Amino acid sequence: MTAIASTSTARLVAIVALCIALSLFFFAPSLWIVRQPMPGSYQWDRALTYLLQCEQPFRRDIETAMHWRLLPPLVAHTLHLPGRSPLALPWLGAVAAIAYIAVLIRRRCGDPRAILGGTLTFVSTSAVLVPFGLLGLNDAWVWLGLFAVAFGRARWALPLACLLCPWVDERFIIGFPLAWIVARIDRREPIYSRELLSPLWLLPYVALRLGLPRPEAGTNGTTSGFLAYVVASFGTLVPLIALGWWFGLRAAWAGVACAIWNCPRGYRIVATLVLCGTLLATAVLAHDISRSIAIILPVALLGCFEFHRRTPSLAPRVFLTVGIVSLLLPAAHVIYRTVQPISPLPLELVRLLRSHPPAL
């Protein structure tokens, strides 16, 4: 039994490593940009703010959106991470999320083809492409927390996610109701039960945020002003929403469609309303459209599990096919009113060499 478990774990590690390598090959970071700070680029603007926070986590002279995203900078500051080394924390979060997805699929499906296909699909979404390609964005920790809420078995998984993840990014609070509903559907538990008290674990964050001095009093405007700006500019982004949503998930939309199609009747209305509310809130409040749509990935994973539950013999081949397709579909970041294609590694290496030719 020990040998079998060891082999299974080794195979899982190999699958995770392969998926990360394939993601970086097909959807490489812009190497010629990320090799050194380049203010004004999407790859570096948030990273430079994040590095300032890591030096002084409670500083006020930074963009408003970052004022309360304190946990990663506090960790980096506490560990005395030097220079640009805090930029490794978003990558670590992405690797942790990838590994957790692989573990969840192994737990439900077991077949290596299903694990490989499902994990490939995940690493081809913005949940991974953003922290790998745009520096200083700790989104993957939030997605990991939402997956823990939706599918975690340990009793401490939901409380820990609620206590920590809002301090990484407020998107966790937006995505929490949907992840919670996914958990009820997956476990076939009633919606109206004592589990409705789960959001109380978010109260410490709310209390602290209301009780602590407001850093928005600094030079970069107020939270209310920031919210007014994003809501007012929502109209200019409407034409790009569909495109941004597509590039954010791409092949993973098959899982979302499967979840909606197979949603048990008793949950369908509530689940649909929560999903639509999450999509609307994300579209209005977040200008990085393709990045933020990853908030509904628990629904995509639920669709995979529902498909496997109904057709276990067919699911591994379907998962693998979808995973391969996800690598071949074009990808792009849709941020504000721009669409930035994501290129494969050979092309990025050519750009790097052209921008910095080797000495003769």
In a domain, residue 250? The reply is: yes
Return the pLDDT at 213: 65
The confidence score (pLDDT) of residue 285 equals: 81
Q: How many residues does the chain have?
A: 360
Question: Cα separation of 102 and 116, whole Å?
Answer: 8
Phi, psi of 67 (to 5 degrees): -60, -35
The answer to whether position 209 is within a domain reads no
Give residue-wise pLDDT tens across range 71-106. Answer: 999 999 999 999 999 999 999 999 999 999 999 999
Averaged pLDDT, groups of 10, the chain, 360 residues long: 54 96 96 85 88 91 86 96 94 97 93 95 96 94 97 94 95 96 94 87 90 56 60 73 94 96 89 94 86 96 95 94 96 89 94 68
**pLDDT of amino acid 354:** 86
| Secondary structure of the chain as H, E, C letters | CHHHHHHHHHHHHHHHHHHHHHHHHHCCCCHHHHCCCCCCCHHHHHHHHHHHHHHCCCCCCCCHHHCCCCHHHHHHHHCCCCCCHHHHHHHHHHHHHHHHHHHHHHHHCCCHHHHHHHHHHHHCCHHHHHHHHCCCCCHHHHHHHHHHHHHCCCCCHHHHHHHHHHHCCCHHHHHHHHHHHHHHHHHCCCCCCHHHHHHHHHHHHHHHHHHCCCHHHCCCCCHHHHHHHHHHCHHHHHHHHHHHHHHHHHHHHHHHHHHHHHCCHHHHHHHHHHHHHHHHHHHHHCCCHHHHHHHHHHHHHHHHHHHHHHCCCCHHHHHHHHHHHHHHCCEEEEECCEEEEECCHHHHHHHHHHHCCCCC
Nearest to 169 by CA among 149, 197, 140, 192: 140
Amino acid sitting at position 133? G
**pLDDT score, position 358:** 47
Angle at 12 between CA 11 and CA 17, to 5 degrees: 95
User: Tokens 């997805």 correspond to what residue?
Assistant: 101
Predicted pLDDT at 42 = 82
Q: Which domain holds residue 158?
A: 2-203+222-355
Residue 210 lies in a domain: no
Q: What is the pLDDT of residue 67?
A: 87
How many domains does the chain contain in total? 1
58, 64, 65, 67 alpha-carbon torsion, rounded to 10° = 10
Helix or strand holding residue 199 (H, E): none
- DSSP character string of 322-342: HHHHHHHS-EEEEETTEEEEE
209 CB-near residues (< 8 Å, 6+ apart): 68
DSSP-assigned letter for residue 83: T
